[in-house]
Amino acid sequence: MTGIESLPQLIISMMLFLLLFFGIGFLLNMILRSTWIIAVVYPIIVVWIIDEVGIFDYILSPVSSFQALGRDIAALQMVDALILVSGFIGAVLAGIAIRMLRNRGYQMF
């Protein structure tokens, strides 16, 4: 990921990731009629974002692939980690929103 140079840019990036994954999570949870689908899938999305190893490499050579993943996670800058965590918060908030709507009797959710 690229470096972020200013605080407003960090805040806007965090809000964008939070809203993006809240929206995607809300729609997927509503369409698939599950509550936590995006919160479960989000770590796979994060690995896809930060890792440069192909998907089949995890099957063909798992040891070196997971070592490369560990190095990539350790090499993340703090701002990148904050942005990715805010996306996960958005995914969890989507699950909470769907759960609250279902508990209140909304059948379409």
pLDDT in tens, 7-58: 899 999 999 999 999 999 999 988 888 888 899 999 999 998 898 888 888 8
Number of domains in the chain: 1
Q: Enumerate residues 6+ apart whose C-beta is below 8 A from 21.
A: 38, 42, 87, 88, 90, 91, 94
Domain assignment present for residue 42? The answer is yes
How many residues can be counted in the chain?
109
pLDDT at position 109 is 54
Q: Which domain holds residue 17?
A: 8-103
Mean pLDDT, rounded, for 84-100: 94
Domain assignment present for residue 45? The answer is yes
Domain assignment present for residue 3? The answer is no
